[in-house]
Amino acid sequence: MSKKLNLLVVGSGGREHAICKSFSKSQKIANIYCAPGNSGMESVGINTINISELDFRALADFVVEKQIDWTFVGPEDALVAGITDYFEERGLAIFGPNKFAAQLEGSKDFALKFMIKHGIPTADYQTFQDADEANTALKDFVTPIVIKADGLAAGKGVTIVKSKEDAQIVISKMFKNGEKQIVLEEFLNGPEYSLFVVVNGNDFQILPMAQDHKRAYDNDEGPNTGGMGAYSPVPQLSDEDYQKMISKVVAPSIAGLNKDNFDYHGILYIGLILTNQGPKVIEYNVRLGDPETQVVLPRLESDFAELIDNCLNGVKMQQIKVNSKACLGIVLAAKGYPNLPVKGQALPHFDEEEGISIDYANVIAKNGRLYGNGGRILSIVALQDTINNAQLKARKYISTLVLNDCYYRNDIGNKALK
C-alpha cells in the first residue's frame, strides 16, 4: 500500500466493531466507515453510516461518493444475498465470497454435499423438505440427534434432541414455522473449535484459533445462541490434533473450493469438533465469527488491513504474525436472549482500562446514554499474558458493573484451564 486508504466495513455488531478497531491500528488507513454500525461505535469515534447492510445500491453509491478503496463485509446475510456480486458488477473492490460460494453458509445441505464430495470428515446426515419423511427417517438415527434449519439462523437454528419423540415435535414445529428444508445429523461428541482462514483463491493464511461458547448458560446449559463468549489461544489443543485439522480439513477445503471454481476471496470459518475419530466439520461460515473475532484480531501482530489489501491487489499474503498474549471475551446479553430478549435497559458507562476493551453490538443512544436493544448487547474483552489472567481481568471488570435485565456466563475460558 502506498497512499492511505479509505475503507468501508459492512455490519452493525460486535464483530464489526472489532474489525474497525483492528483496521484502525494500521498506519496505512486514512478513514474507516461502518454501515450501519451502532450507537456504541459512535460513542468511541467510529464513523457510522445509516445505510442498511442489505441496501446494496446505497452502499455502493456511498463507496463511489467517498472514494472508498475497498469494502470488508462482516455479516453473512449480506454475503448470502449477493453483495459481492453487486459490488463487482459496479467495478468496486470488496472482500467477501460471492453469492454462489456463500451457499456454504446459506445452506447446510449445500455445505454437507461439498464436504462429502471432497472427502472432508463430517457427520452423517439426511436432508428433508417434508415433516413426514423426516419423521420416518428417524429410525436411521441414534439419539441424541442434531436437527438444523437448512438456511441462515444467526447461530440459533440448531436443536439437539435426546429422544425421537422430542425430534418429532421439533421437526413438526420447524416446518410449521416456515422452514422449507431441514437437516438431520448424527450427533458428534467432543470439544469444539473455531478456525478462520483468510482465502484468496489458492493463497490462504490461518488466523489464531479460538473456542466459542454457544449455550446460553454456564456449563453449556440452556438454548443455543449466537455465542456467549470466546477465548484465544486454545492451549488444550495439541499440535498433533491441530496439524490433523490442517491436513484433513483445511487443505482439502481450499482444494475443493478451487477445484469447483468457487472463486473464493474472503474469510472461511470452519467449525470443528475433535471426535475420537479425529477432527470433523460441524459447519462452514463464510465470514469472521461473532464473538470469536473480538478475541482473535487483538492477537494479530500483522497489519490486518494490509493483509486484506494484498488479497484484493493480487499480492501473496505474508505469514500472519501472532502475539503471545491471551484474549478472552464475555458477552453481555439481554435478559431472555435468545428467545425473548428484553430491550431498553439502561446501561452503565463502560470505561475502558489497561487490558480491557468493549465491543458494542445491540445498543442505541438516547440523551447521551446507551441502552440495550435486544440480543447480545456488547462484549467485554480482556487481553492479558495468560487465559487465566484474562478471565480474572474480565470477571473483575464485569463484577463492578450495575446491570439490569442482562446476563452473562461466568465460565468462559474454563475449558482451557482444566
Q: Specify whether the CB–CB gap between 333 and 407 falls below 8 A.
A: yes
C-alpha cell at 11: 455490519
CA distance linking residue 5 with residue 202, whole number of Å = 26
The string of pLDDT tens digits covering residues 357-378 is 999 999 999 998 999 999 999 9
Cell of 1: 500500500
| Other C-beta atoms lying within 10 Å of the C-beta of residue 75 | 23
pLDDT of res. 363 = 97
CA distance 170 to 175: 9
d(CA 111, CA 122): 10
Evaluate whether 120 touches 252 at the Cβ level (below 8 Å).
yes
Q: Kindly list the structural domains of the chain, giving each domain's residue range(s) and its CATH number in brackets, ordered by start.
A: 5-95 (3.40.50.20), 124-186 (3.30.1490.20), 189-312 (3.30.470.20), 326-416 (3.90.600.10)
Residue 73 CA neighbour count, 13 Å, CB half: 36
For residue 30, count other CB atoms closer than 10 A to its CB: 11
How far is the C-alpha of 288 from the C-alpha of 269, rounded, in Å?
6
The full length of the chain comes to: 418
The residues that bridge with 72 in the sheet, in sequence order, are: 9, 95
Residue 102: Cβ within 10 Å count: 30
Q: pLDDT tens string for the chain (418 positions)?
A: 468 999 999 999 999 999 999 999 999 999 999 999 999 999 888 999 999 999 999 999 999 999 999 999 999 999 999 999 999 999 999 999 999 999 999 999 999 999 999 999 999 999 999 999 999 999 989 999 999 999 887 555 788 899 999 999 999 999 988 889 999 999 999 999 999 999 999 999 999 999 999 999 999 999 889 999 999 999 999 999 999 999 999 999 999 999 999 999 999 999 999 999 999 999 999 999 999 999 999 999 999 999 999 999 999 999 999 999 999 999 999 999 999 999 999 999 998 899 999 999 999 999 989 999 999 999 999 999 999 999 999 999 999 999 999 999 999 999 999 7
Tell me how far apart the alpha carbons of residues 305 and 32 are, in angstroms, rounded to a whole number. 11
Do the bridges between strand 29-36 and strand 5-11 make them parallel or antiparallel, or are there none, so unpaired? parallel
Nearest to 323 by CA among 355, 297, 358, 357: 297
Q: What is the pLDDT of residue 157?
A: 73
pLDDT of 156 reads 55
Q: What is the pLDDT of residue 2?
A: 65
- Give pLDDT, residue 178: 87
Three cell numbers written together for 183: 437437516
